[in-house]
Structure formats: structure tokens, C-alpha cells
Amino acid sequence: MAHRIDVAPEVLAQIGVGHIAYLREMSSEDLLRAFPGAPELPPGLRLWALIGAAGEPIMVADDRDLALESAREHDLVPVSLH
């Protein structure tokens, strides 16, 4: 019989800290909504955001391979978000 274990979202987020980063394609408009402190960007840009396991932005690029390379440079395992 399976048992359910409830884990608080903040605890779950800490599991991958320092090990996992999420790679997500987004528009410049999405980026500004997700990270209000981001610099103003022209509308309609397709970007790749590298986001830490706890939700903090690590970097943004206009090239997926560049974002993946940044993950490797930070010794992080990239996981794709859709």
C-alpha cells in the first residue's frame, strides 16, 4: 500500500539547490512578468531562462545552447521546463 507524504513547496525547492537548474523558453514579456527586476527588453523576443531550483534567475540568453553551457559552467544539471 502506498503512503502519501506531504512536502511543503519550499522544502521541495531546496532539494535541487546547487545541483539542478531549470531551462525554460519564454518571451521577453513573460520574463518581465516572472522577474519584475529584469531590465526592460523589446517585446516579442524569444529567450531561454536558466532558473535555479528555488526559483531564482541565474541567466537569460537568446540562444538555448548558451543557456545550457552556463548551467554546465555552474556545475548544474539542466532540466527542461515546458
How far apart CA 73 and CA 66 sit, in angstroms, is 10
Residue 81, Ramachandran bin (φ over 0: left; ψ between -120 and 50: alpha; else beta): beta
One DSSP character per residue, 25-39 reads EEEHHHHHHH-TTSP
- pLDDT score of 50: 93
Residue 1, pLDDT score: 67
> Which one-letter amino acid corresponds to residue 4?
R
- The radius of gyration of the chain from alpha carbons, rounded to an integer in Å, stands at 15
Task: Kindly report, residue by residue over 8-66, the tens digit of the pLDDT.
Answer: 767 766 666 667 899 999 999 999 998 888 888 999 999 999 998 888 889 999 999 99
Q: What's the predicted TM-score (pTM) here?
A: 0.74
